[in-house]
């Protein structure tokens, strides 16, 4: 809290020193993660500047913004939150207090949220299960259509004189998503073993869309225990799982242990890549290399 108060004081000081000559050429839209930048650039073209709060390599679960990033928020017309990532859960109230006139829009609106088990034990001592929303909604082409619609609707409100331009870009982007879905489905067609392992469960929605089954090494953001690693090893051998996916943001050590024990292949990918469509295709290609 002391850190936030100090940051807020610096931000307010910077704001008080601004002059009319500091006005940005383009309206600024702030977002949480890099893939949102991709979506907005496809839909808005050169109408806006996108300010991404979580930089490359940082964790959306635990990142804390810098003073300069907080100051940038004062220039933002709107903040498009992705929905349920830890950064937003921790910081949205504080972000809103820095720029109370900034419109905050939730891009997860209308997405069918998958609940994930939030703890290693299925039930607590009261017999209650703990579930939370799986935050990785952008790792799904079907969800991307909803996210794109939400972005488009809000851009139409922000730029009422650019409706024809925005509608054209939206229509083109939706067609590209349709093509991407067909391409991914084709690449995964005929795959015999639709089970895969992953270090951090970022592909829950992707697996749902294409009838795949994801098994996670990490539980509740914690490094897998020896017992869980043994359980995953046995499961991989039992189901002949040959792929272990791991995000480029995570340590490979535990995945390498599992790979040695099971003879599985480690596949590194980046769910926070700016080249979102390329990553979505890459995942399908790696899960079914015979159909590339």
Instruction: Tally Cβ neighbours within 10 Å of residue 226.
Output: 8
State how many domains the chain has: 2
Residue 21 has pLDDT above 70, yes or no: no
Q: What CATH code is carried by the domain that includes residue 245?
A: 3.40.50.1980
Q: Which domain holds residue 253?
A: 190-291
Q: How far is the C-alpha of 200 from the C-alpha of 198, rounded, in Å?
A: 6
Residue 120 has pLDDT above 50, yes or no: no
161 and 54 part of one domain: yes
DSSP letter for 24, please.
-
pLDDT band at 67 (very low <50, low <70, confident <90, very high): confident
pLDDT for residue 136: 97
Instruction: Please report whether residue 196 resides in a domain.
Output: yes
pLDDT for residue 170: 98
pLDDT for residue 70: 85
DSSP letter for 107, please.
T
143 and 51 part of one domain: yes
pLDDT band at 117 (very low <50, low <70, confident <90, very high): low
Percent of the chain exceeding pLDDT 90 equals 72
pLDDT band at 207 (very low <50, low <70, confident <90, very high): very high
Q: Are 79 and 95 in contact (CB under 8 A)?
A: yes
Q: Are 114 and 205 in contact (CB under 8 A)?
A: yes
214 and 160 part of one domain: no
Strand 115-117 versus strand 49-52 pairing type? unpaired
Residue 23 has pLDDT above 60, yes or no: no
Q: What is the rounded average pLDDT of the residues 252-272?
A: 93
DSSP letter for 60, please.
T
Instruction: Tally Cβ neighbours within 10 Å of residue 179.
Output: 12
61 and 102 part of one domain: yes
Residue 149 has pLDDT above 50, yes or no: yes
Q: How far is the C-alpha of 131 from the C-alpha of 29, rounded, in Å?
A: 32
Instruction: Please report whether residue 267 resides in a domain.
Output: yes
167 and 202 part of one domain: no
Q: How far is the C-alpha of 13 from the C-alpha of 10, rounded, in Å?
A: 5
Beta sheet of 28-31, edge-to-edge order: 49-52, 28-31, 76-81, 103-106
pLDDT for residue 17: 43
173 and 100 part of one domain: yes
pLDDT for residue 107: 98
pLDDT for residue 110: 98
Q: Which of 68-72, 84-88, 269-273 comes out lowest in average pLDDT?
A: 68-72
76 and 166 part of one domain: yes
Instruction: Please report whether residue 34 resides in a domain.
Output: yes
DSSP letter for 221, please.
T
Question: In this structure, what token pair is assigned to residue 54?
Answer: 């979580």
Q: Which of 151-165, 196-210, 240-254, 268-282 comes out lowest in average pLDDT?
A: 240-254
232 and 166 part of one domain: no
pLDDT digits (tens, 9 = 90+) for 154-165: 999 999 999 999
139 and 212 part of one domain: no
96 and 55 part of one domain: yes
pLDDT digits (tens, 9 = 90+) for 163-195: 999 999 999 999 999 999 999 999 999 898 999
């Amino acid at each position: 809290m002391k850190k936030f108060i100090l940051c807020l004081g610096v931000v307010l000081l910077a704001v008080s020193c601004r002059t009319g000559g500091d006005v940005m050429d383009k309206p600024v839209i702030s977002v949480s993660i890099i893939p949102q930048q991709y979506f907005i650039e496809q839909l808005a073209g050169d109408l806006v500047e996108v300010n991404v709060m979580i930089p490359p390599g940082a964790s959306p679960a635990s990142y804390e913004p810098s003073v300069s990033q907080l100051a940038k928020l004062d220039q933002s017309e709107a903040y498009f939150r992705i929905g349920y990532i830890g950064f937003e859960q921790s910081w949205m109230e504080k972000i809103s207090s820095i720029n109370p006139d900034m419109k905050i829009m939730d891009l997860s609106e209308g997405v069918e949220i998958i609940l994930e088990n939030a703890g290693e034990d299925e039930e607590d001592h009261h017999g209650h299960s703990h579930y939370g929303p799986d935050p990785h909604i952008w790792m799904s082409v079907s969800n991307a259509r909803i996210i794109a619609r939400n972005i488009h609707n809000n851009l139409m409100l922000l730029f009422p004189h650019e409706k024809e331009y925005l509608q054209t870009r939206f229509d083109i982007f939706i067609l590209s998503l349709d093509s991407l879905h067909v391409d991914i489905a084709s690449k995964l067609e005929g795959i015999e073993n639709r089970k895969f392992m992953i270090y951090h469960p970022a592909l829950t929605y992707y697996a749902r869309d294409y009838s795949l089954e994801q098994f996670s090494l990490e539980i509740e953001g914690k490094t897998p225990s020896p017992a869980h690693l043994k359980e995953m090893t046995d499961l991989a051998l039992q189901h002949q799982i040959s792929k272990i996916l791991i995000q480029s943001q995570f340590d490979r050590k535990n995945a390498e242990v599992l790979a040695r024990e099971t003879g599985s292949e480690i596949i590194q990918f980046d769910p926070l890549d700016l080249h979102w469509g390329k990553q979505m295709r890459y995942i399908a290609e790696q899960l079914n290399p015979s159909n590339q």
